[in-house]
Structure 1
Amino acid sequence: MYELKKAVTESGWLSDSKVKVPCTKTLVIANTDAGDDMLETASTVLLKNLSRVLGTNGK
């Protein structure tokens, strides 16, 4: 899942302007027994409840 965010470069480093950067959200599951169905279900649940997991402002 990709989304564009704006980042401000550090003062004095190349420029002081905002740049658009691609950001990703990653789901990591540490279960060696997880099959494709379990991974797909976990991914779907996370995506449908993303604001509840990350909060309303993405933090």
Structure 2
Amino acid sequence: MVNKVKKERDKYKIYTDNPDKLTNLARNHKTKIKSINTLDPNLEDIFIKLTEGDKS
């Protein structure tokens, strides 16, 4: 569900392919999400995803 978490000052960036599951999980644990932004992958993200298993 969560691909990566980065702490930046007083915030956490949580990278996920399924933000709906993440918001449901937060609601079930009575955790508040102050804001949420969804972003489409950029070309670099796609390239890395496609080549991360290629060790040649």
Q: If the length of structure 1 is used for normalisation, what is the TM-score?
A: 0.24
TM-score by length of 2: 0.25
